[in-house]
């Protein structure tokens, strides 16, 4: 019974992080798309090019960090590597602290 629960937990952690990785790739791709095709976005949004470029860089940064987090979580969960899971937990803790301080 205990072994089955651990396997289910491991696969749920993998699935969650796989979704995390895919969403990070979508965000990263959206940021690159904004940089590559900024003329259509400027005509739709009617904003300045510098703010659009800054937003695209933010999307690229957030997407890359999200993909990295998902990758660390997937590899750590499947291979049960304590070092990667510890690094994953540390990154999640830093993100939580940043969100709490930004919201305060």
Q: Given its phi and psi angles, is residue 81 left (phi above 0), alpha (psi -120 to 50 degrees) or beta? A: beta
57 and 34 Cβ atoms separated by less than 8 Å:
no
Pairwise CA distance, residues 30 & 53, whole Å: 12
What is the pLDDT at residue 64?
Answer: 94
Enumerate residue ranges in the chain where pLDDT < 70.
1-2, 38, 41-49, 104
pLDDT at 9: 86
pTM, entire model: 0.79
The pLDDT of residue 97: 92
pLDDT attached to residue 65: 92
Distance CA 85, CA 67 (A): 15
Number of separate domains in the chain: 1
Query: pLDDT for 42-67, tens place per residue?
Result: 665 666 667 777 888 999 999 999 99
């Amino acid at each position: 019974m205990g072994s089955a629960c651990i396997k289910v937990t491991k696969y749920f952690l993998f699935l969650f992080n796989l979704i995390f990785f895919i969403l990070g790739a979508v965000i990263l791709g959206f940021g690159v798309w904004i940089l590559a095709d900024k003329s259509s976005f400027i005509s739709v949004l009617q904003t300045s090019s510098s703010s659009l470029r800054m937003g695209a860089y933010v999307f690229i940064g957030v997407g890359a960090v999200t993909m990295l987090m998902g990758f660390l979580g997937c590899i750590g969960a499947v291979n049960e590597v304590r070092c990667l899971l510890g690094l994953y937990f540390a990154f999640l803790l830093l993100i939580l602290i940043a969100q709490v301080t930004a919201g305060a």
